[in-house]
Amino acid sequence: MCYMSAALLTTVANEIMTVVTRFAPSPTGFLHLGGAHTALFNWLYARHHGGKFLLRVEDTDRARSTDEAVDAILDGLKWLGLDWDGDVISQFSRVERHAEVAEQLVAAGAAYRCYCTPEELAEMRENAKAEGRPMRYDGRWRDRDPSEAPAGVSPTIRLKAPQEGETVIADLIQGTVRVANDQMDDMVLLRGDGTPTYMLAVVVDDHDMDVTHALRGDDHLTNAFRQTQIYNALGWEPPIFAHMPLMHGPDGKKLSKRHGAVAVHLYRDMGFLPEAMRNYLLRLSWGHGDDEIISDAQAIEWFDFVDVVRSPARFDVAKLNNLNGHYIRQADDKRLTDLIMPQIETILEGEIASESEARILAGMPNLKERAKTIIELAESAVFYARSRPMPLTPKAEKILDETARQNLAKLRNEYASHSEWTSGTLEELARSFAEREELKLGKVAQPIRAALTGTNVSPPIFSVMEVLGQEETVARLDDVLGQN
């Protein structure tokens, strides 16, 4: 038999159909990094092709699925900016349709009712265990007449799976993968209580949603074989599969809580920007030359499966930090100000100077130069929002020694009568003062910084003075000099 190569298959496929991808999370917790990674790639592929990105909540496991978890996943996707098309589809709402398809397969002779009792199945499991092989249903009802059905057993519906030959998948990431059909048993499609199994539900939903590309974690690769068998039995065209590498921690083990935060919302709370997350998750297992910084527009233009790396991606928070720093520097000043104001209010317990927001906005071009996270940005901006007098850190105290205070007193008078309040002229004044007093500029600037910010690190101090304005600057100097 001859199979089309995966690349050719996509080319052909993309020419004849609208690309439809989907993200199909099971709502049992929060949106995890791995889920966000999968969702992002589905979103990019759909956007790249001008297709659709659908969202299906796989909530058939009623005991484990909660509304809170659904909301948490939707919130995570919204924060990440991964907008989906149309309504969110609930898999559970489609159970009748799943059962209908199972019955359709029975009617066509491609599936059958299995009346095995739980005891019989337990026995099969025990035997398999004793012989050290995986449990496989032995097909005892495959050809048996339903008239032999025992009373009181609600039958399951099993697929009459092919027993010879092989099932082949042309996976866009994994390449061509195949499994011998005698390695797979007749899987259950519909349980005795009429509920669908995961395998059936996914196939029916993907088909009914016109999904053209099923892109998901490679832990689902073995499921793809079983799902392909169901598609074949139904005479439906399977979607094109693409199984992407799972995310690992820095130690090379599957990413888990041991490695730290795995839920996307925690990264928001730690002060990461969604665009930095997107860029980071994209680069984890996809590349475009040596490019590290990739905008959304570029990602959408360039994204294709051929560039997806097959080996597991290692989560590295240092890289994420660097990207975040980059996106913070690029971000709009007003947006950043809005993001940090609530945090500053928390830090200062509501004791906020009234001009804070205007000052922070004006100071933002310099503040954002050095922050790696929104939290760091907020911390670095607190001095603009504090009501006087500034508390001094021990380092600031040390800078403000006797000599420094004497110089500061003279400078204070010069600044109090200075007329042009711009960073350039403020610096000029400090420079000529330093020359006259035969001091290095740092000996003059550091005490000013200590007095105005209460710390020993801040954005360029003459810009800080410009932002604070003359009145506040002189008042803060006076606080330190004990003149208020």
- Please list the active-site residues: 257
For the CB of residue 155, give the shortest distance to ligand GLU in the complex, in Å.
Answer: 26
**Which H or E run contains 22?**
strand 20-23
First to last CA, the chain: 91
For the CB of residue 158, give the shortest distance to ligand GLU in the complex, in Å.
Answer: 21
Kind of pairing between the strands at 111-114 and 156-159: antiparallel
For the CB of residue 216, give the shortest distance to ligand GLU in the complex, in Å.
Answer: 4
CA distance 193 to 100: 14
DSSP 187-245: -EEE-TTSPBPHHHHHHHHHHHTT--EEEEEGGGHHHHHHHHHHHHHHTPPPPEEEEEP
CA distance 363 to 236: 61
Q: What does the DSSP 8-state code read for residue 387?
A: P
Q: Are 388 and 476 in contact (CB under 8 A)?
A: yes
Kind of pairing between the strands at 89-90 and 52-57: parallel
Give the other-Cβ count within 10 Å of 8's Cβ. Answer: 11
Q: Which residue lies nearest ligand GLU, judged by its C-beta?
A: 216
Q: What angle do CA 282, 247, 170 make, to 5 degrees?
A: 80
* Closest CA relative to residue 125, chosen from 111, 114, 138: 138
* Closest CA relative to residue 323, chosen from 273, 264, 376, 257: 273
Residues in a beta bridge with 213: 21, 240
Residue 102 or 203 with smaller CB distance to ligand GLU = 203
Residue 209 or 450 with smaller CB distance to ligand GLU = 209
For the CB of residue 29, give the shortest distance to ligand GLU in the complex, in Å.
Answer: 10
Residue 24 or 170 with smaller CB distance to ligand GLU = 24
Residue 243 or 386 with smaller CB distance to ligand GLU = 243
| Cβ burial 104-129 (10 Å sphere, 16+ → b, else e) | ebbeeebbbbbbbeeebeeebeeeee
Residue 39 or 381 with smaller CB distance to ligand GLU = 39
CA distance 128 to 235: 33
* Closest CA relative to residue 373, chosen from 270, 274, 276, 279: 270
The residue assigned the tokens 């489609």 is 94
Residue 28 or 181 with smaller CB distance to ligand GLU = 28
The residue assigned the tokens 């009234």 is 354
For residue 196, cis peptide bond before it (omega within 30 degrees of 0): no
* Residues with Cβ within 8 Å of residue 145, at least 6 apart in sequence: none
For the CB of residue 227, give the shortest distance to ligand GLU in the complex, in Å.
Answer: 8
Residue 69 or 382 with smaller CB distance to ligand GLU = 69
Residue 54 or 377 with smaller CB distance to ligand GLU = 54
Rg of the chain over Cα atoms, rounded to whole angstroms, equals 32
Residue 214 or 396 with smaller CB distance to ligand GLU = 214
The residue assigned the tokens 């509501």 is 350
For the CB of residue 25, give the shortest distance to ligand GLU in the complex, in Å.
Answer: 5
For the CB of residue 200, give the shortest distance to ligand GLU in the complex, in Å.
Answer: 12
Distances (CA, A) of 261 to 32, 34, 271: 9, 12, 13
- Residue 468, class by beta-carbon neighbours within 10 Å (0-12 exposed, 13-18 middle, 19+ buried)? buried
Handedness of CA 119, 120, 121, 123 (dihedral sign): positive
Residues near ligand GLU (CB under 6 A): 24-26, 58, 202, 214, 216, 220
Tokens matching residue 411: 């400078």
